Structure 1
Amino acid sequence: MKKTHFLRAGLLGMLLVLAGCAGESNDSGSSDNGDSTQISFIHWRGEDKDVFDEIIAQFEEENPDITVEMTIYPSEQYQATGQRMLQDGSTGDVFTSFPGAQFEAIHSAGFFEDLTDEEFVSNFDEGSITVGQKDGQQFALPYQLVFNMPVYNKGMFDELGLEVPKSWTEFQEMSDTLLENGITPIAFPGADIGPNQFMNSMMMNNAPDEDVFEKLQNGEESLTNEWWVKTLEDFQLLEERGYIQADALGTNQDSAMAMVANEEAAMLATGSYHMASLLELNPDLQLDLLAPITVPEEEAQYEGIHTATFMLAVNSNSEKKEEAKMFIDYLSQPEVASKYANETGQHLTVNGVEYESEALQNTSYWIDERNTRFQPRFLITNAQIEAAVLSSIENVLGGEDPMAAAEQAQQIVEENRE
């Protein structure tokens, strides 16, 4: 029998105190009828609960000897405690991982089962799953292909005669036009998501070297250099000119989404993964993606940001690895992946997915026709350094001088350099 748990941050904190780890434990290994093997599936995508419930029910019908217990955590808590939940093997037979620092931490702890030789690996696009590899082995399989750049109201742009800006000057002119029409250019969810997504497109052309954060971690680069100070100055400009809403650092995700759904704001500073939710709030919206180009048009190398994320993996400590692999195999079947894609509004890394929703069809050109860069933030493999980078943006939005914020963050980088 399927059980779904959706743990909010407060309850999760209580469980951490009481149990010493987050999440539900499946100690019995069986369902209520005593005949089925029960596997634990943990992830952070609360908005996908309904479709996963349906997919799990279908999987259990086709595999009556296996039941799936799904537990969903808030993403911030999942990033903070995901590794800890996997330690004894009773939770997270199938689990998901973020790329970057979390992937590196879980790999270092030895909790990834090697999936290299599994047949279902071939169900995924070969070029999209390299982020789940380490030392020539496939430890995790990214399920989602996400564009981590602002979603914008294309219908509003058309009505106001606005075109997608191709330079930083054009971006400012576009924002000024929106303000003149009583519209906030960018809804920024600083209270919960923060600059985690928006930083990527803001710095992609300021620092076109894709190894810049690796160099930062090994001492070849510094946050006090021009590429990052300019990025902080660009964020300062957004705040000072009112291109993002007042009290942006106190605005949560739901409030920012409501601003866009109500057409009070033109852009949402998150990513493609919120398009389906925006359309649920306002089905009349026409949406597309827009990354700010922070340099002159002739200097721009990238048009946007992509990420292969929601990485499916098997816990190396699990006693139910074969059943766990069967579930991942099922999720990677084209018809199952298509159902997930169309009902959640996600582009996927699975081969043969058919996109039926209008939003996905209208944005699929970003996959093959635009020059996008893999999300730079996920190339920061040290969690303390990642936090320092993000905090420098929040400090500038809070009124700190960009160079002072960069110097403070660089000091933390130097203290935590590997």
Structure 2
Amino acid sequence: MTKLLLRFFVKNHENTEDPAVRASIGKLAGATGIVCNCVLFLGKLLAGLLAGSVSIIADAVNNLSDASSSLVTLLGFRLAQQPADADHPYGHARYEYLSGLIVAVLILVIGVELVKSSVGKIIHPEPVAFSVATIAILAVSIAVKLWMSLFFGALGKKIKSTTLAATSADSRNDVISTAAVLLGCLAGYFFSVNIDGFIGLLVAVFILYSGINIVKETISPLLGQRADAELVEKILTLVLSHEKVLGVHDLLIHDYGPGRCFASLHAELSAAEDAIACHEMIDHIENEVMSELNVDLVIHYDPVVMDDAERNEMRKILDEIILEIDPRLSMHDFRMVGSGEQTKLVFDLAVPYDMGQQYGELKEKIDKSLLEKEKPYQTEIRFDGKA
């Protein structure tokens, strides 16, 4: 069904790197969610009113909130397509993240209201009327929501959308909550136990839990979360595939929304190479990264002296010292400044975030190790945080 819908409604649906195709897939998901959830809402509302069940009505309202969420998703993908302008030079792709956050807030609001109504039903219980129609509606709802979870999940993976991934999880949660409502109806009929209010409360709590998790997932990219490890690896692999690039460091990736990624890094090349040739090669690499990965990359050229014996020896010694302190540390931009007793070893040291800012202690350890190796050089270290 998913492939059929894609072929029917999205032209060139396999080309997910194209922002227009990506947006069309997102809008298809939103429109499908609106239609399915509205139908489910009407069916469950009718069943809930006929049965006098607050848990079924709660589940129906949950579907209505899902329809609202799908509408927000649809608008989010549409707004994210707007081109860059004078006030927003990096485009509007973050609208997709904002739409996901709005979806989460709507879920939380609905959850709070359902808690109130369910508690009221627990305090003042009313009998629930059982019918085959009610059971049939709930069973169909479970089947539809299961398909929707798989549908949104497949599209979310296809276009790498956190919004659709959250929508898929929400639909999966609905399968569980509707199954709980169905269980409550069966328990009331076969065992004459009225647990309708408790089931409604359980559904409401489940909705709140889902909303909180979705808030966490959608707010993270807005706050500036760590770049995708796969994308980092692809960028590094592509840049280092060029023979003259000796090493790279200080890779920074800025996410302005799906399909709007900007990055910068430092590339080390031999100082003996022709500067103009190096500049042309760097331009070529930047264009290559844009073409293959859709990342706007800026490369800073770091010339490295390769034929200085003393420098090479000290670089090797420092590498050994840093490896002994902690294998996760890494050095770059190493150079020797001055001469004689005034010589300084100047370099950057990348320190994992989980080590904390133990910068003074690390410098002391490095200086002490240099003295022990009878290399009384002064050090000037710039510390970089890294993942």
Q: TM-score, normalised by structure 2?
A: 0.26
Instruction: Work out which of the two has the higher radius of gyration on C-alpha atoms and give 1 or 2.
Output: 2
Q: TM-score, normalised by structure 1?
A: 0.24
Specify which structure has the bigger relative contact order, considering alpha-carbon pairs within 8 angstroms and separated by 6 or more residues: 1
